[in-house]
């Protein structure tokens, strides 16, 4: 079944394909990546098949039919014509992969509510799924509609990254295959690396040239490096691997041990890989503005128990929940975005897996490695220079670096650097969720 007649939906009959019967007129909703013959680019009416709607007046100035629409009908909203929305900022476009997954299900509703980008920032969400998840993605879009978020002005769903990533100013890349029983770490690097190579190419071709990319799907550091290498037109500095969840976990453990609320804990760096070699830095961290080591005088606890707890927190949670951290991961993605769009509080910093070229710490170049960052709130960041090191910290930073170098060698075929050689260090290269 196809759209019956091409005229404004407030005047005439629209017959929609049965699988689109859930669409309503609150938002523009695009279906991207469907076969061209069945794709309806923008749909605005919520009429059941064969239902006739009597003519209604278009609210003056509030909505109009988009002139470039063809074959379908769509509302556009001129935000500058409405009193309540006149002061709003220009809409931004956020693309999300793995959008039918668990983390995404927590994240999307935070983005749409305005708590991330602010109460005057309208957003367009472009959701990437697969053929397998497409129906679930429709369900996600339905729930977003039913939430009536004023700031959510567009939702589109699709399975082709070249369409979904078009004009994206933020790309939150969450989709990845989880490591299954008996699967080698090298297999996971290869399978997910291929996804991120493809998505890097798509971002390079169609996203906004200054798109900010946050890679969540594991192994997130190496996935981010692969994505970056396949997107040479996008500044390397714009790519992040999410280590904010690890930072939040470390802050929680330090607060618990010191008997303070976690807002007193600052300057926590996670160094290295989002894996069990990550280094939660208690040397530079502070509690109430005082070095952690002066508050928690138990060096053994800091070196052993604290470090292990943070590194393996994901695994313990999986044992309790039966699935990996999703709500707290979504919260940490929000924190990571906010850290880039709001000035970092004086004296503090945040952790992110970022490109190592030009780093002041002597870490090998050409990796995505978690380091301490500060931002002016303009979407960009600088690495923090005034951090101190001791032998304990240096040694562990090196171990995580070696792991990432090995992951890089193992994915050389995906970064354009020749033939892959997988000599992953035994015992390491575990995700936080692996035990």
Ligand X SMILES: O=C([O-])CC(=O)C(=O)O
Among 96, 99, 186, 431, interactor with ligand X by CB under 6 A: 431
27 catalytic residue (yes or no): no
Task: Say if CB 192 and CB 177 are below 8 A apart.
Answer: yes
319: CB partners within 8 A, 6+ apart: 435
Instruction: Report the C-alpha gap between 70 and 54 in whole angstroms.
Output: 22
Considering beta carbons, is residue 153 or 249 the nearer one to ligand NDP?
249
Q: Is 193 in the site for ligand NDP (CB under 6 A)?
A: no
Question: 67 by DSSP, 3-state: which?
Answer: coil
Instruction: Report the C-alpha gap between 176 and 159 in whole angstroms.
Output: 14
How many binding residues for ligand NDP (CB under 6 A)? 27
Catalytic residue among 27, 135, 240, 274: 274
Considering beta carbons, is residue 103 or 268 the nearer one to ligand NDP?
103
Task: Say if CB 117 and CB 147 are below 8 A apart.
Answer: no
CA distances from 150 to 24, 57, 118 (A): 15, 22, 12
Q: Which two structure tokens, joined as six digits, stand for 16?
A: 């929609």
**Among candidate residues 278, 275, 279, 180, the one with its CA nearest the CA of residue 220:** 275
Among 195, 203, 292, 310, interactor with ligand NDP by CB under 6 A: 195
Q: Is 223 in the site for ligand X (CB under 6 A)?
A: no
**Among candidate residues 260, 228, 257, 256, the one with its CA nearest the CA of residue 241:** 228
Question: Shortest distance, CB of residue 290 to ligand NDP, whole angstroms?
Answer: 29
The residue assigned the tokens 């804990």 is 265
Instruction: Report the C-alpha gap between 245 and 240 in whole angstroms.
Output: 13
Instruction: Lay out the site mask for ligand X across 296-315 (x = CB under 6 A, - = otherwise).
Output: ------------------x-
Among 40, 95, 98, 230, interactor with ligand NDP by CB under 6 A: 98
Considering beta carbons, is residue 9 or 268 the nearer one to ligand NDP?
268
**Among candidate residues 357, 372, 365, the one with its CA nearest the CA of residue 401:** 365
Considering beta carbons, is residue 234 or 410 the nearer one to ligand X?
410
Task: Say if CB 272 and CB 369 are below 8 A apart.
Answer: yes
Considering beta carbons, is residue 142 or 260 the nearer one to ligand NDP?
142
Among 324, 332, 339, 356, interactor with ligand X by CB under 6 A: 324
Question: Shortest distance, CB of residue 102 to ligand NDP, whole angstroms?
Answer: 4
- DSSP alpha helix (H) spans, 269-347: 292-295, 299-300, 307-321, 327-341
* Of residues 115-144, those binding ligand NDP (CB under 6 A): 129-130, 132-133
Q: Is 280 in the site for ligand X (CB under 6 A)?
A: no
Considering beta carbons, is residue 39 or 66 the nearer one to ligand NDP?
39
Among 172, 216, 295, 310, interactor with ligand NDP by CB under 6 A: 216
Instruction: Report the C-alpha gap between 198 and 192 in whole angstroms.
Output: 10
Interface contacts to ligand X, rule CB under 6 A = 218, 245, 314, 324-325, 431-434
Catalytic sites, residue numbers: 274
Interface contacts to ligand NDP, rule CB under 6 A = 98, 100-104, 129-130, 132-133, 174-178, 195, 216-218, 220, 242, 245, 274, 324-326, 329
């Amino acid at each position: 079944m196809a759209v019956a007649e091409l005229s404004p939906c407030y005047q005439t009959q629209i017959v929609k394909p049965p699988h689109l019967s859930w669409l309503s007129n609150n938002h523009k909703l695009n279906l991207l990546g469907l076969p061209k013959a069945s794709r309806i680019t923008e749909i605005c009416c919520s009429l059941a098949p064969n239902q006739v709607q009597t003519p209604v007046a278009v609210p003056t100035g509030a909505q109009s039919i988009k002139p470039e629409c063809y074959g379908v009908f769509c509302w556009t909203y001129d935000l500058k014509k409405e009193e309540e929305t006149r002061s709003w900022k220009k809409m931004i476009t956020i693309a999300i992969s793995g959008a039918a997954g668990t983390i995404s299900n927590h994240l999307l509703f935070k983005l749409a509510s305005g708590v991330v980008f602010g109460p005057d920032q309208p957003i367009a969400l472009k959701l990437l799924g697969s053929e397998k998840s497409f129906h679930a993605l429709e369900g996600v879009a339905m729930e977003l509609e039913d939430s009536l978020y004023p700031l959510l002005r567009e939702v589109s769903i699709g399975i082709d990254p070249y369409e979904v990533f078009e004009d994206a100013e933020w790309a939150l890349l969450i989709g990845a295959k989880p490591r299954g029983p008996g699967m080698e770490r090298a297999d996971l690097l290869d399978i997910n690396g291929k996804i991120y190579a493809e998505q890097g190419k798509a971002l390079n071709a169609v996203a906004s040239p200054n798109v900010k990319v946050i890679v969540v799907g594991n192994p997130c550091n190496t996935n981010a490096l692969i994505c970056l290498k396949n997107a040479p037109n996008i500044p390397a500095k714009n790519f992040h691997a999410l280590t904010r969840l690890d930072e939040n976990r470390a802050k929680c453990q330090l607060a618990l041990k010191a008997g303070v609320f976690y807002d007193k804990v600052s300057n926590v760096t996670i160094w290295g890989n989002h894996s069990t070699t990550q280094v939660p830095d208690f040397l530079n961290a502070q509690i109430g503005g005082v070095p952690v080591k002066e508050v928690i005088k138990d060096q053994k606890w800091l070196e052993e128990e604290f470090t292990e707890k943070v590194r393996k927190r994901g695994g313990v949670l999986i044992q309790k929940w039966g699935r990996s951290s999703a709500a707290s991961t979504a919260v940490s993605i929000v924190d990571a975005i906010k850290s880039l769009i709001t000035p970092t509080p004086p004296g503090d910093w945040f952790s992110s897996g970022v490109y190592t070229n030009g780093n002041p710490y002597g870490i090998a170049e050409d990796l995505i490695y978690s380091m301490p960052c500060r931002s002016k709130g303009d979407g960009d960041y600088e690495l923090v220079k005034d951090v101190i090191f001791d032998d304990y910290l240096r040694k562990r930073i090196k171990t995580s670096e070696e792991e990432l170098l090995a992951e890089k060698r193992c994915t050389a075929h995906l970064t354009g650097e020749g033939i892959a050689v997988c000599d992953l260090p035994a015992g390491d290269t575990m995700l936080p969720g692996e035990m």
